[in-house]
């Protein structure tokens, strides 16, 4: 479904990704763990072409996106949806238009048809129809995430990226968001990549876990594998130990 | 010292390069369909119609002050009768476009930079791309076209308001004859005076909108980055307006 090989990304003078490799299979939910600043969000954005990569290969459904025309590449990448960390909703548009945005402006769907789909998606993420007419500043953090999820699902993606879906939410709202992700990812053919620090979220939604450190994926496995791994980096992260290989002076610099 | 000069030269070249790439992308993408008419109309309304009160007020006071100041100067050598001619020429050729352009840079350019900059730091521009929408067509092109089209219209209206401001002061404060004043204004005014001002306004509007969009699109690092982009837009647009005013005056009136 999605294959990333030897992905290198540099921002300014700093090399963020130094050769990332992974595969995402149909219907698989991959969770990428890692400390803050290790390039997890950069990884997702570089796959989507939002941040230019230095080199590396990104293959979606067997097609190398660098080998096709720009329009074809946009079409391929439009099959990937994304839930941004802060929701990234457009403040000047009502909620329904935010959800229907990709359908109206990206695919040229009629306003009324798109509105019906948007309201349908809002209902699917357990939001009331009344919310549809509100504007994003009037919504709580949990509602923003759910509207963001509805927007990502509205364009019927085949792969969906979640950038820290539960960050900044209370435990109950986090759980609701996690349940929604499980509902739409684990119970469908949708492939998903989630970035999170939240181990509760990880245990709920992950089929496979990958650990990103120093610009590379240094460990991959299942949740069970993660619990009994001897990898010192992963161990330090999941046991939340302040001193260890992740936080040596060399890497703190 | 050499390091300092080298660093700033490289930064300047980098900015120029990014601006050229931005211009290329704006025009290549903006001219291709789909066209977002709703966005276009919203921008025409916001950039044009909503700027009218502030620019109109500035013009009426500019015209009024110009009449007062000129009257004082002209009265020293008994040339008060030239006042209507001076007011209309100054307003249509220079003060109308420049004052309106500066107000436009402060109101519209700053708004564009702040709005786009906030969208950038809040990942909303990234979100546009993931929703199959080109930010150049959806965000920048309507704003740039609105800047290009509305400032000449605003300047035309402001020319009338500015001249009217001069007329009010001349007639009610300086005891000019109203009919005589209007007659002299119309007699000395030529189409070239108005058109030259409108041409300048089109350039000012275009450069302000481009600067606002570019600075917004380049803003980094949260609220400070957006503030920086907004400040840069106002400063750079204002300087560009003065530079373009000199350049266009030289070209238009050099015949």
Chain B positions in Cβ-Cβ contact with residue A84 (cut-off 8 Å): 123, 126-127
> Cα–Cα–Cα angle for B154, B155, B161, nearest 5°?
90
Whether B131 sits inside 8 A of A101 (CB atoms) is: yes
Chain B positions in Cβ-Cβ contact with residue A85 (cut-off 8 Å): 123
Give the DSSP letter string of B157-215: HHHHHHHHHHHHHHHHTS---HHHHHHHHHHH--HHHHHHHHHHHHHHHHHHHHHHHHH
Number of residues assigned to chain A: 253
CB neighbour list of residue B169: distance below 8 Å, 6 or more residues apart: B63, B64, B67, B68
A49: closest CA of chain B, how far (Å): 9
CA torsion, ordered A221, A226, A231, A235, to nearest 10 deg: 150
* Sign of the torsion angle spanned by Cα atoms B6, B10, B13, B19: negative
> Cα–Cα–Cα angle for B239, B142, A84, nearest 5°?
100
A191-195 and A29-33 strand pairing: parallel
Q: How far apart are CA A191 and CA A157, in angstroms?
A: 9
Give the number of A-B residue pairs with CB atoms closer than 8 Å.
52
Mapping DSSP to helix (H, G, I), strand (E, B) and coil, where does residue A40 land? Answer: helix
Find out whether B72 and B174 touch, Cβ atoms under 8 Å: no
Express each pLDDT in A109-130 by its tens digit.
899 999 999 999 898 888 888 8
Whether A78 sits inside 8 A of B36 (CB atoms) is: no
> Cα–Cα–Cα angle for B33, B35, B36, nearest 5°?
150
pLDDT confidence of residue A76: 86
Tokens of A216: 């590379």
In this prediction, the residues of chain B whose per-residue pLDDT falls under 50 are none
Chain A positions in Cβ-Cβ contact with residue B126 (cut-off 8 Å): 45, 48, 50, 82, 84, 88
Whether B130 sits inside 8 A of A108 (CB atoms) is: no
Closest to A20 (Cα-Cα) out of A252, A220, A176: A220
Express each pLDDT in B81-132 by its tens digit.
889 999 999 999 999 999 999 999 999 999 999 999 999 999 999 999 889 8
Q: How far apart are CA B186 and CA B209, in angstroms?
A: 33
Q: How far apart are CA A119 and CA A7, in angstroms?
A: 38
pLDDT confidence of residue B235: 96
In this prediction, the residues of chain A whose per-residue pLDDT falls under 50 are 252-253
C-alpha radius of gyration, chain B, whole number? 21
Q: How far apart are CA B166 and CA B172, in angstroms?
A: 10
**Within 10 A of A49 (CB to CB), how many other CB atoms are there?**
18
Mapping DSSP to helix (H, G, I), strand (E, B) and coil, where does residue A48 land? Answer: coil
Segment holding A29, helix H or strand E: strand A29-33
Give the DSSP letter string of A128-163: -GGGGGS-GGGS-HHHHHHHHHHHHHHT--SEEEEE
pLDDT confidence of residue B255: 64
CA dist B221 to B27, B135, B148, B229, Å? Answer: 27, 20, 30, 11
């Amino acid at each position: 479904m999605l294959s990333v090989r030897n992905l290198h990304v540099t921002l300014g003078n700093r090399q963020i990704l130094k050769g990332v490799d992974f595969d995402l299979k149909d219907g698989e939910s991959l969770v990428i763990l890692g400390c803050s600043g290790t390039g997890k969000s950069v990884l997702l954005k570089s796959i989507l072409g939002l941040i230019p990569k230095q080199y590396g290969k990104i293959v979606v459904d067997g097609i190398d996106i660098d080998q096709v025309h720009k329009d074809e590449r946009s079409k391929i990448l439009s099959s990937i949806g994304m839930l941004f960390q802060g929701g990234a909703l457009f403040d000047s548009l009502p909620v329904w238009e935010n959800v229907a945005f990709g359908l109206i402006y990206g695919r040229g769907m009629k306003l009324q048809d798109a509105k019906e789909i948007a309201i349908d998606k809002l209902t699917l993420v357990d939001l009331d129809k009344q919310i549809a007419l509100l504007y994003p500043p009037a919504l709580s953090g949990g509602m923003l995430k759910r509207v963001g999820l509805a927007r990502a699902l509205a364009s019927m993606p085949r792969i969906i990226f979640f950038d820290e879906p539960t960050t900044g939410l209370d435990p109950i709202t986090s759980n609701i968001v996690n349940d929604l992700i499980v509902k739409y990812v684990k119970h469908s053919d949708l492939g998903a990549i989630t970035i999170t620090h939240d181990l509760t979220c990880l245990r709920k939604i992950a089929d496979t876990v990958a650990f990103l450190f120093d610009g590379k994926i240094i460990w991959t496995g299942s949740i069970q594998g993660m619990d009994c791994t001897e990898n010192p980096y992963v161990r330090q992260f999941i046991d939340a130990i302040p001193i260890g290989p992740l936080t040596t002076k060399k890497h703190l610099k | 010292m050499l390091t300092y000069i080298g660093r700033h030269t490289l930064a300047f070249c980098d900015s120029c390069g990014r601006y050229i790439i931005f211009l290329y992308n704006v025009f290549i993408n903006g001219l291709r369909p789909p066209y977002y008419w709703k966005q276009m109309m919203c921008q025409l309304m916001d950039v044009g119609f909503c700027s009218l009160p502030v620019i109109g007020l500035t013009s009426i006071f500019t015209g009024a002050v110009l009449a007062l100041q000129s009257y004082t100067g002209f009265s020293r050598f008994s040339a008060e009768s030239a006042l209507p001619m001076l007011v209309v020429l100054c307003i249509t050729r220079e003060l109308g476009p420049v004052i309106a352009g500066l107000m436009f840079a402060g109101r519209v350019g700053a708004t564009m930079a702040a709005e786009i900059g906030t969208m950038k730091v809040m990942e909303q521009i990234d979100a546009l791309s993931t929703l199959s929408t080109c930010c150049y067509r959806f965000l920048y092109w309507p704003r740039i076209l609105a800047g290009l089209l509305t400032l000449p219209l605003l300047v035309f209206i402001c020319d009338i308001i500015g001249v009217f401001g001069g007329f009010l002061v001349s007639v009610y404060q300086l005891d000019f004859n109203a009919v005589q004043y209007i007659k002299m204004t119309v007699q000395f005014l030529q189409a070239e005076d108005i058109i030259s001002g409108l041409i300048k306004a089109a350039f000012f509007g275009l450069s302000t909108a481009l600067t606002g969009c570019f600075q917004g699109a380049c803003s980094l690092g949260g609220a400070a980055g957006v503030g920086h982009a907004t400040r840069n837009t106002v400063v750079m647009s204002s300087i560009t307006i003065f530079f373009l005013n000199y350049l266009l005056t030289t070209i238009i009136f050099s015949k």
